[in-house]
Amino acid sequence: MQTMSSTMPMQTPQDLFIHELSDTLSAEQIIVEMLGQAQGMVQNPQLRQGLQKHQQESQEQAQRVQQVIQMTGQQPHPVTCHAAQGLMQSLMDVVQSGPSPEVLEGAVVAGAIKTEHLEIAGYTGLIEKAQAMGQSEAAQLLQQNLQQEQAMLQQLQGISQQLTQQMASMAMAQDGSSASATL
C-alpha cells in the first residue's frame, strides 16, 4: 500500500469521509494479515480460536467498508493506516526478542486488544460522519462493524484476564522456588 499523495484534494466533509473509510479499509487489511501471523504464534486454543474469529470478522468488515465506499460513488484513496502498521510492528518487535510462549501469547492478546480499541474509535467516528451527512444505510453497515468490534473486545479481554492470571501464578511459583533455593 502507498501513502496518500499530498496532491489529493480534501476539501469537503465527503472527501474526509472517503479518506477515513480508506484508512479503515487499510487497517482491516493489515489486521487480517497480522491475525493470520498471530495464529501461528500461539498455543492457547481459546486464543487461537478468538484470533481466527477476529480474522474472519475483519475480512467481513473490510467488505462492508468497501460497500460503503461504493455507495458514495467514490474509489478508496491509496492510503496506509499507520496506526495498524505500528501495532503490527510492535508485535514483530516482541517476536524478535525471543519471548517464552506464555509471554508471546500475552503480547498477542494485548496487541489484539489495542487493535480493537483502534477499530472501535475509527468506526465510532465514521458512524458519526455518516449520520451527520444523512447516509443512514452507510451508518448501519458501519454500526454492524462497530458491534462486532465491541463484542470481540469483550472476548479478548476475558482471554487476557485468564492468561494474565496464569502468568502471575507462574511468576509466583518461580519466585517461590528461587527463594527456597537461596535458603
CA 172 remoteness from chain centre: 31
Split at pLDDT 50, 70, 90, the class of 166 is confident
CB-based contacts of 162, cutoff 8 Å, min separation 6: 46
Question: What's the pTM value of the predicted model, to 2 decimals?
Answer: 0.85
* Mean pLDDT lowest among 58-62, 124-128, 178-182: 178-182
Q: CATH homologous superfamily for 13-172? A: Ferritin, core subunit, four-helix bundle (1.20.1260.10)
10 Å CB burial of residue 97 (0-12, 13-18, 19+) is exposed
Whose cell is 535458603? That residue is 183
Section 28-46 average pLDDT = 93
pLDDT at 142: 98
Domain extent listing, the chain: 13-172
**Percent of the chain whose predicted confidence (pLDDT) is above 90:** 73
Distance of alpha carbon 148 from alpha carbon 152, whole angstroms: 6
Split at pLDDT 50, 70, 90, the class of 7 is low
In this predicted structure, the answer to whether residue 91 has a pLDDT above a threshold of 90 is yes
